A and B are shown apart, each in its own frame.
Chain A
Amino acid sequence: MENNPLSPHIQIYRWHVSSLVSISHRITGIINILAITLICIFFIFFSFSEGSHEFIKLFLQSIIGKFFILGITWSFSFQILSEIRHLIMDFGYGFDLKTTKITGLIVIFGSFILTVSIYLIGRNLF
């Protein structure tokens, strides 16, 4: 059996809502850890000098900075919604194929809605 080939797996397996939510949950989890670390570093910089405060302000007002803020807002939104879905599943509910699809779609679309809402609330537009 040593030289027998391994049959194709992730290369050929079709994605569906639940598997997409599951892998995104992991990816956003990693992004969140990095983002929190970065935010902590920002705060350490704040305490150093006024100049670094200006620098971070400049960064956050640039296009990359805004993308960064929106990005982590989405990442946090997704993680929270997906975590709630997991919590419900841990109680043994929502394992129906149809239900998992609906809750998965709620997580995906909800994360974008939540991101926009948080953005609008943050800008006092709500």
Chain B
Amino acid sequence: MVQLNLPQNSKVNKGKYFKDKTGSKNIRKVNVYRWDPTTGENPRIDTYEVDMDNCPSKVLDILNKIKNEIDPTLAYRRSCAHGVCGSCAMNMGGKNGLACTKPHAEIKGDIDIYPLPHLKVKKDLIGDLSGLYKQYQSIEPWLKNNSKSETTEIHQSPEDRAKLDGAYECIMCACCSTSCPSYWWNGDKYLGPAVLLQAYRWIMDSRDEDRKERLQKVADELKLYRCHTILNCTNACPKGLNPAKAIAEIKKMLATT
């Protein structure tokens, strides 16, 4: 059921205001979503004044600066800081992306930072992605081949290998799935762009011998056809991939085989 409003316990209140103490003239206001699981209070938006003269170029640098210099209680996931691990996926300036690759100069006005949309929040900017991981598991993302030999390779031509371009690069950061309104309203059944892109990746793999079963598995009114080409996913993908096209290709394969 489509629920446009947030539940009562999720309504966001105004939080604390951290005034700049460095005396810098180049200040930006950063609004960050906070929720502390130990207090039982509603989430709040804390506002930080950040000295931009001494801050590197990415949104993650701002968060690190806040955590190191202003408020050490802020919680967020991060690891590689090079757009490879997908840990720091969050909503910045109203759009999902990786904090480590998103330049803060691209965001106009105050910088609003929220967790990935429509997830159960664990703390501050950390959302619970276990549902998505379970769905990922459900498409069985591993090679299925009946070859008994353990010594010979399974060959793949360069042309067949090229079919995986644009699918294998996915880092499962969940930016696309959590940007998708269909996934917000039907996230329990609809697989979402991230998982469907991976489903496509294994369907397209020439070495995989389970193609038919894989296709049949996703051919479901709710699992696949809840994609209405809103294209928030493709717009959000920090790796420049196109989950919407992959979903359309799956639909096409189902219609033509």
Contacts and interface: CB of A to CB of B under 8 A. Distances in A.
A12 B121 CA distance: 15
A5 B121 contact: yes
Interface string A1-36: 101111111111110101100110000000000000
Interface in B64-96: 91, 93-95
Given A13-B95, A14-B93, A8 B128 contact: no
B179 interface: yes
Contacts of B55: none
B234 A95 contact: yes
Nearest to A97: B234
A82 to B, nearest CB: 10
Contacts of B249: 92
B235 interface: yes
Contact of B94 (A1, A3, A5, A14): A14
A48 interface: no
Interface stretch (B2-10, B14-22, B135-143, B196-204): B2-10
A7 B127 contact: yes
A86 B227 CA distance: 12
A13 B248 contact: no
Contacts of B244: 95
Interface of B: 4, 6-7, 9-10, 12, 33, 35, 37, 40, 42-43, 91, 93-95, 112, 114-122, 127-128, 179, 181, 184, 228-232, 234-235, 242, 244-245, 248-249, 251-252
B230 A22 contact: yes
Given A13-B94, A92-B248, A86 B119 contact: no
B122 A4 contact: yes
A18 B10 CA distance: 28
B75 to A, nearest CB: 13
Contacts of A50: none
Given A1-B128, A5-B42, A8-B12, A86 B229 contact: yes
B119 A89 contact: no
A89 B229 contact: yes
Nearest to B228: A22
Given A6-B121, A8-B117, A92-B245, A19 B91 contact: no
Given A13-B179, A90-B248, A7 B230 contact: no
Nearest to B91: A12
Contacts of B248: 89-90, 92, 95
A8 B245 contact: no
